[in-house]
């Protein structure tokens, strides 16, 4: 196999250093200036930069290729052919943005008979594995492990044989995840109904809990089980795990290491997601996140492109909890996006930085001052205290954190200058455009 990571300039330190050299002086001046601004607020910029440097968000393997909708998918040149290509592309993202040290895999899309080889392949490229994802929302023709259809559901199907098949698949995902060094399984199912009367809400929920308990019973020590709620799609009348309430009830019924994962796009427009985050933290049931952005439905747009203030307000709750709950507070941070019209690598580079930006801004909130305005019922100044942090341009901190990790000051510029996309396009045969589907 042609090891693109050995030949591609994008992985060559001197190439990256040469690109950085043109920007380093301006960055140093901007960083110095921001340092002075923050010093006036009693904040040491180095503390923020150090925290940002430690911050990572996992890259979703399924977003390394072009995404699509039910109407169409337009593959770009150099589409990843298999999980090893996806790892190469995720390695580019981590090499340039230094913020995505782990990959979240999806089975059977990333199925491999030799997970230890995959683990070594990724480790050689500086990558580990975050939560693995099961898939009982599609049928897998020709896959002997899934002979029965999930058309009418999976973990909640009325046929115990289909539920058993879905449970077995989740146990297989754990098996693969263990070999890969992952420590969590994310379960999202599309089970639900398109017609009133089609499904008994209570019985379906009971079947869900029974099935998840069967998976939980086999959870290895130190592992967690993440339940992902979603308002609708593919079901368009009712979804078994439709909202955080259903997810929380299920997680509380299943067990201590079963928690609720928040995908930002899985809520109705204008839902106060930061409030949901605060409630799940209160219940000690916050698993983590699938970061993305949306305007209407589960649009899976790049994080921070539509509503960066919402992303900031979510991180404001997370930093508050981090400071109140201490080191034990460790939600899983992952991206979950569908790159329909951009180069996925560029979208992952910018999205990782957008999530880091929201974290850095949230670290700038003066929480003592905020608490005083809250206690003294001064809503305007409380809001202003958050806004001051949000409008602070933390770009010099993000870029300096990257530079200090020998990554790129301007990741997209280095990526484009590297010619990586053209190089993999020569290596990987083009995929025909056409049919719909998210991957």
Of 9, 65, 78, nearest to 427 by C-alpha is 78
The nearest distance, CB 344 to Mn ion, in angstroms, is 16
Measure the CA–CA gap between 11 and 91, rounded to whole angstroms.
Answer: 9
Residue 373 CB, nearest distance to ligand LRH (Å)?
A: 37
- According to CB under 6 A, which one of 79, 130, 228, 299 is a site residue for ligand LRH? 228
Q: Among ligand LRH, Mn ion, none, what does residue 230 contact (CB within 5–8 Å per kind)? A: ligand LRH
Partner whose binding site includes residue 125, from Mn ion, ligand LRH, none (CB under 5 to 8 Å by kind):
none
In sequence order, what are the residues at sequence separation of 6 or more whose Cβ sits closer than 8 angstroms to the Cβ of residue 14? none
Candidates 85, 130, 298, 317; binder of ligand LRH (CB under 6 A) is 298
Asked if 188 touches ligand LRH (CB under 6 A), the answer is yes
Closer CB to Mn ion, 73 or 266, in the complex: 266
Which residues are within 8 A (CB) of 226 and not within 5 positions of it... i.e. 6 or more apart?
Answer: 131, 184, 185, 186, 187, 259, 260, 261, 287, 288, 332
Among 62, 226, 373, 390, binds ligand LRH (CB under 6 A): 62
Per-residue contact flags (x/-) with ligand LRH for residues 68 to 107, judged by CB under 6 A: ----------------------------------------
293 makes contact with ligand LRH (CB under 6 A)? no
Q: From the centroid of its chain, how far is CA 403?
A: 24
Report how many residues bind ligand LRH under the rule CB under 6 A: 9
Name the site residues for Mn ion (rule: CB under 5 A): 263, 290, 336
Shorter beta-carbon distance to Mn ion: residue 334 or 403: 334
Q: From the list 19, 112, 133, 347, which residue makes contact with ligand LRH (rule: CB under 6 A)?
A: 133
- Least distance from ligand LRH to the Cβ atom of residue 285, Å: 18
By CB neighbour count within 10 A (0-12 exposed, 13-18 middle, 19+ buried), where does 236 fall? exposed
When the beta carbons of 115 and 288 are compared against Mn ion, the nearer one is 288
Selected binder of ligand LRH within 79, 191, 293, 336 (CB under 6 A): 336
Which residues contact residue 162 at a Cβ distance below 8 angstroms, ignoring those fewer than 6 apart? Answer: 148, 149, 150, 152, 153, 154
286-291 sheet: strands from edge to edge:
132-133, 184-187, 224-228, 258-263, 286-291, 332-335
Measured from the CB of residue 73, what is the shortest distance to ligand LRH in angstroms?
A: 13
Shortest distance in whole angstroms from residue 336 CB to Mn ion: 4
Which does residue 302 bind out of ligand LRH, Mn ion, none, counting CB within 5 to 8 angstroms by kind? none
302 binds ligand LRH per the rule CB under 6 A: no
Residue appearing with tokens 């929302």: 137
Using N-to-C axis directions, what is the helix angle for 201-216 and 244-254, rounded to 10°?
50
Please report how the helices 308-325 and 344-363 are oriented relative to each other, as an axis angle in degrees rounded to 10: 50
Q: Is 130 in the site for ligand LRH (CB under 6 A)?
A: no
**Closer to ligand LRH by Cβ: residue 132 or 193:** 132
Which of ligand LRH, Mn ion, none does 293 bind, CB closer than 5 to 8 A by kind? none
CB of 39: closest distance to ligand LRH in angstroms? 42
Q: Smallest distance from the beta carbon of 439 to ligand LRH, in angstroms?
A: 8
CB of 315 to Mn ion, least distance (A): 18
| Residue 420 site contact among ligand LRH, Mn ion, none (CB < 5 to 8 Å, cut-off depends on kind) | none
Note the residues at the interface with ligand LRH (CB under 6 A). 62, 133, 188, 228, 230, 263, 290, 298, 336
């Amino acid at each position: 196999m042609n090891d693109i990571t050995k030949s591609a300039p994008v992985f060559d330190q001197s190439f990256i250093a040469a690109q950085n050299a043109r920007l380093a002086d301006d960055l140093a001046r901007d960083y110095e200036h921001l340092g002075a601004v923050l010093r006036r607020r009693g904040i040491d910029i180095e503390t923020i930069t150090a925290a940002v440097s430690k911050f990572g968000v996992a890259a979703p393997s399924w977003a390394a290729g072009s995404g699509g909708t039910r109407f169409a998918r337009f593959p770009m040149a150099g589409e990843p052919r298999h999980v090893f290509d996806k790892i190469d592309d995720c390695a580019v993202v981590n090499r340039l943005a230094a913020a995505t040290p782990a990959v979240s895999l999806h089975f059977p899309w990333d199925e491999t008979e030799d997970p230890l080889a995959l683990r070594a392949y990724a480790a050689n490229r500086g990558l580990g594995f975050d939560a693995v994802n099961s898939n009982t929302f599609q049928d897998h023709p020709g896959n002997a492990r899934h002979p029965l259809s999930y058309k009418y559901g999976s973990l909640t199907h009325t046929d115990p044989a289909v539920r058993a098949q879905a449970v077995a698949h989740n146990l297989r995902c754990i098996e693969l995840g263990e070999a890969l060094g992952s420590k969590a399984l994310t379960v999202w199912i599309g089970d639900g109904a398109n017609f009133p009367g089609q499904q008994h809400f209570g019985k379906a929920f009971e079947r869900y809990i029974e099935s998840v308990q069967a998976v939980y019973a086999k959870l290895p020590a130190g592992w967690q089980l993440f339940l992902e709620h979603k308002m609708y799609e593919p079901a368009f009348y009712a979804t078994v795990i439709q909202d955080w309430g259903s997810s929380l009830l299920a997680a509380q019924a299943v067990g201590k290491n079963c928690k609720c994962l928040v995908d930002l796009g899985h809520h109705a427009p204008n839902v106060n997601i930061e409030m949901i985050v605060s409630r799940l933290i209160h219940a000690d049931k916050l698993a983590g996140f699938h970061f993305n952005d949306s305007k209407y439905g589960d649009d899976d747009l790049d994080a921070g492109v539509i509503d960066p203030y919402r992303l900031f307000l979510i991180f404001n709750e997370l930093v508050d909890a981090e400071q109140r709950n201490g080191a034990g507070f460790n939600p899983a941070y992952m991206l979950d996006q569908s790159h329909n019209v951009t180069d996925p690598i560029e979208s992952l580079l910018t999205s990782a930085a957008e999530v880091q930006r929201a974290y850095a801004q949230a670290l700038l909130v003066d929480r003592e001052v905020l608490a005083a305005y809250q206690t003294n019922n001064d809503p305007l100044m409380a809001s202003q205290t958050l806004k001051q942090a949000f409008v602070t341009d933390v770009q010099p901190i993000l870029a300096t954190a990257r530079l200090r990790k020998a990554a790129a000051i301007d990741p997209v510029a280095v990526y484009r200058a590297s010619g990586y996309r053209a190089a993999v396009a020569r290596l990987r045969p083009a995929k025909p455009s056409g049919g719909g589907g998210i991957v």
